[in-house]
Chain A
Amino acid sequence: MIHDFGIVWSERNLLLSGLGNTTILSVLSAAAALLIAFVLTPALMSKQQWLAGIVRGFVDGMRCVPFLLFAYIVYYGLPSVGLRLDNWTSGLVALTIYNAAYMAEILRGAWAAQPREPIEAGIAFGFSNLGLFRRIVLPPLLLAAGPVIGNQMIQIIKDSAFLTIIALPELTHAASSIQSRHYVPFAAFITAVFLYWGLCLVIEAGVSSIDRLAMARR
């Protein structure tokens, strides 16, 4: 058994590059999903019924699709309508769009729970449109939603493992190539599990520092 872990250790570069790719995929798609959510959320809460309805349909629909299936559609399905993306682009696009729906719903919930008066004060003091959103609405929203967004980040990291099926060289992919090369499934997969866990601990640390900021303001 020790010997098996020795084999995994000898392949550490492969694992580390897998970990690196998982991190890059997760961070990029989480950031992009959040940015898209900043647009979707105001639309969800819009007084324009048709706009709110369309976005609501997208958000609810997306949240009912298994991620694996969605990744299949983006990578294998889109080429049949003439849109061919390489595996990195497909992976990023799938993770981003899928999670934008979740992020939008998270922000909407936090927004609805915010008191109205400070936002009114923002309007009364001359903020409007983007300035109002960026300076007055968003900061308390992010502080309030920080822990839930952190949870979603963890979900994104775990979902990214599915991208091994489109041959994206992320952590699960690296672990499974090590096991198939050397027949050390337990050692290879357990090592990957611990690396995922480490990544989640980093996220947790980030969440608790946001939480400290929020606590100081509560």
Chain B
Amino acid sequence: MADGSKVLDVAGVSKRFGDLEVLSDISFQVAKGETVCVLGPSGSGKSTLLRCINWLERPDAGQIYLTGTEIGVTGAGIVMSDRELSRLRTRIGMVFQHFALWPHLTVLQNLMEAPIQVQKRPSAEVRDEALALLAKVGLSDKRDAFPAKLSGGQKQRVGIARALAMRPDLLLFDEPTSALDPELVGEVLVVMRELAHEGMTMVVVTHEMGFARDAATRILFLDRGRVVETAPPERFFSAPETERARQFIQRYAGHVANGGCRT
């Protein structure tokens, strides 16, 4: 049953592409202010899980609740209209691996587009908030630049600000630093750490073990479409319960001990 005290409640979600079962019976909950890091080898279904949460992919089975409201299906058990689904999606911010900024709009316009066009909020208010968000991610001077003229790190900070401009209840990150040059990863992680610290509710798919270790409240370890392990980061990294997790940590997190966090 839906647990309204949780921001996100994923209950028994499964998804298959043809013969391939990508997610099998995934269940977890995220409380307000939590940062859950989703780890797992390539192809384990991490992106698919995020895309199921806001119904970019339609799950084959299971339910997803956002603060107690089921996503994708109405109370009567029928699939939502595009309009209803869109309204729920505006409450979930998403940050993409390849930024996915809108290329025809300036940085400031990227932040203001959905709040004005979709949420129908007054543009003066949206603009003030967008300017404040740009200041927060350190890009006030880029407000009139087009995305193509920014570095990867700057693009991703715009991507985060754009998601925050929706005042979302939940932020989803899909490998937000994987497409960045190593020297640009830090500036994005700084912003994400700050959000985690401020109590933003986040689900972060990442290969940045350093970030997972010190910013996550909980680790969700996925392997072949199943949640194999879920634990606080201290326990997950120091005493993983499963052999799969142990191997994974050895492969990816070996660098953490040396102070680096890239894989």
Contact = CB atoms under 8 A, between A and B. Distances in A.
Contacts of A131: 117-118
Nearest to B172: A124
B92 A117 contact: no
A142 to B, nearest CB: 9
B113 A117 contact: no
A136 B102 contact: yes
Contacts of A120: 56, 96, 100
Which of B56, B89, B104, B119 has the largest count of A CB atoms less than 10 A from its CB?
Answer: B104
Interface in B87-110: 87, 89-90, 92, 94, 96, 98-104
Contacts of A118: 100-103
B54 interface: yes
A127 B118 contact: yes
Contacts of B86: 126-128
Interface string A115-126: 101101111111
Given A123-B56, A217-B148, A128 B82 contact: yes
Contact of A117 (B90, B96, B146): B96
Contact of B83 (A117, A125, A128): A128
B114 interface: yes
A122 B96 contact: no
Contacts of B147: 217
Interface residues of B, number: 29
Given A125-B90, A126-B114, A218-B148, A117 B98 contact: yes
Nearest to A114: B103
Contacts of A216: 146
B85 interface: yes
A135 B117 contact: yes
Given A121-B100, A143-B104, A217 B146 contact: yes
A124 B85 CA distance: 10
A139 interface: yes
B100 A126 contact: no
Contacts of A125: 89-90, 94, 113-114, 118, 162, 166
Interface of A: 115, 117-118, 120-129, 131, 135-136, 139-140, 143, 216-218
B126 to A, nearest CB: 13
Contact of A129 (B56, B82, B119): B82
A140 B104 contact: yes
Contacts of B98: 115, 117
A140 B89 contact: no
Nearest to B96: A117
B118 A126 contact: yes
B100 A127 contact: no
A80 to B, nearest CB: 45
Contacts of A143: 104
Nearest to A216: B146
A140 B146 CA distance: 13
22 contacts: A117-B100, A118-B100, A118-B101, A118-B103, A120-B100, A121-B100, A124-B89, A125-B94, A125-B162, A125-B166, A126-B86, A126-B89, A126-B119, A126-B166, A127-B86, A127-B114, A127-B117, A128-B82, A128-B85, A143-B104, A217-B146, A218-B148
A204 B147 CA distance: 27
A212 to B, nearest CB: 13
A135 B118 CA distance: 10
Given A124-B56, A125-B162, 8 more contacts: A115-B100, A117-B99, A121-B100, A121-B102, A125-B90, A125-B118, A135-B113, A217-B104
Contact of B104 (A124, A126, A139): A139
A125 B162 CA distance: 9
Contacts of A115: 98, 100
B95 to A, nearest CB: 9
Contacts of A140: 102-104
B216 to A, nearest CB: 23
Nearest to B91: A126
A183 to B, nearest CB: 54
A122 B104 CA distance: 13
